[in-house]
Structure 1
Amino acid sequence: MSRTPEETFRRMIDMMLAKDMNAVADLWAPDGIAEFPFAAGSSPRVLNGREEVRAYLVHYPELMDMKEAAALTVRPTDQADTVVVEWTATGRTVATSRPYRLDYIVVLTVRDGLITLYRDYWSPLSAAAAAGDPAGLIDSLERKESQ
């Protein structure tokens, strides 16, 4: 069954809320790409292929307990296979049990119901703060600069 980009994105959110990271990774085409243009420190900027996405996501539920995708807005583009999604994830950080709220903008391209390009614009500082580790991000940035 071929899903639209919006249907694929909403399915991804449903699987993230269910903590089924294998199902999330299965939404990627075998050669699909995930890009994180604002990634910093030790965070990857590009994941090539479904299996790299799977490896990246495997421990996510142990770090972040996403409870809701709030304020989800899907904006069509002039290309039928691509949408821009503005959304907010809320939940709690597993290590600290503190609540978090993270805002994202995603450019999503889908072919035959599978993700071929997922370009995720998020704030590394906000994500590190939500994970309870802004010092770790700063340390990783300083190590990267000194190399």
Structure 2
Amino acid sequence: MRVVVEVEIDKVRSMDSRADPDGGDGHSSPRDVFLRLVNGVCEGPYENLADLYAEQTHVTHPFHPLNPPPLLSRSELHEHFTAPPPFARTLNRKPVNIIIHDTADPEVIVAEFAYQGHVDETGEAFTVPCVFVLRIRDGLIVESRDYIDHIASARAWGQLESLLTALRPSSDVDR
């Protein structure tokens, strides 16, 4: 019989039925790595975020409308996290409504959450719903599928029009 225990810890709900959800092997648990990731995305330091990933990794954004290639190395992730944003907006955000589900595979978790906050320059509030499916081995992310509402994200960053332009067939852009 499988027992699922729901625990409220700092507004994080864990659906973890494993006897030792915090690891026990000397490495950070998948849950801890995920929380460091989403809090680091919001608070920084961005130059350290790639250290949460294995040297060789596989990170995809399956719902991204422009279908970017996967990020396959810690080096690529470092560039991803530290590249200056091409927009003049500052997002003040935090991860909220976090629910972490364990799976039959102890390396894999599914995390539901949202980035919520406001745009400093305008005061505009935003919520970006997300679901991440992560494989974490020896305390490092070796695989991640990040399902993000990219329309809500583009709106928050003030990039919705440029995203829509990029999605239009080139013949429509010229009109």
Whether the TM-score (by the shorter chain) exceeds 0.5 is yes
8 A contact 2:89–2:158 mirrored in 1: no
2:109 is the alignment partner of 1:83? yes
User: Which of 31, 34, 38 is the matching residue for 1:6?
Assistant: 31
8 A contact 1:65–1:93 mirrored in 2: yes
Structure 2 unaligned runs (5+)? Answer: 1-25
In the other structure, the counterpart of 1:27 is: 52
Q: How does 1:65-144 map to 2 (within 5 A)?
A: 65-93=91-119, 96-142=122-168
Give the total of aligned pairs. 144
Inter-CA distance 3–38: structure 2 relative to 1 (3 Å threshold): same
Which structure is higher in helix share?
1
Structure 1 unaligned runs (5+)? Answer: none
AA partner of residue 122 (structure 1): I
CA distance in 1: counterparts of 2:56 and 2:149, whole angstroms: 26
Tell which has more relative contact order, 1 or 2 (C-alpha 8 A, sep 6+): 1
User: 1:101 Cα deviation (Å)?
Assistant: 0.9
* Seq. identity, %: 23
CA distance in 2: counterparts of 1:3 and 1:130, whole angstroms: 32
Inter-CA distance 45–38: structure 2 relative to 1 (3 Å threshold): farther
8 A contact 2:31–2:100 mirrored in 1: yes
Inter-CA distance 66–79: structure 2 relative to 1 (3 Å threshold): farther
Runs (4+) of structure 1 moved beyond 6 Å?
A: none
TM-score (normalizing by structure 1) = 0.86
User: 1:124 Cα deviation (Å)?
Assistant: 2.0
Instruction: Give the RMSD, CA atoms, in angstroms.
Output: 2.2
Inter-CA distance 3–126: structure 2 relative to 1 (3 Å threshold): same
Q: Which has the larger radius of gyration?
A: 2
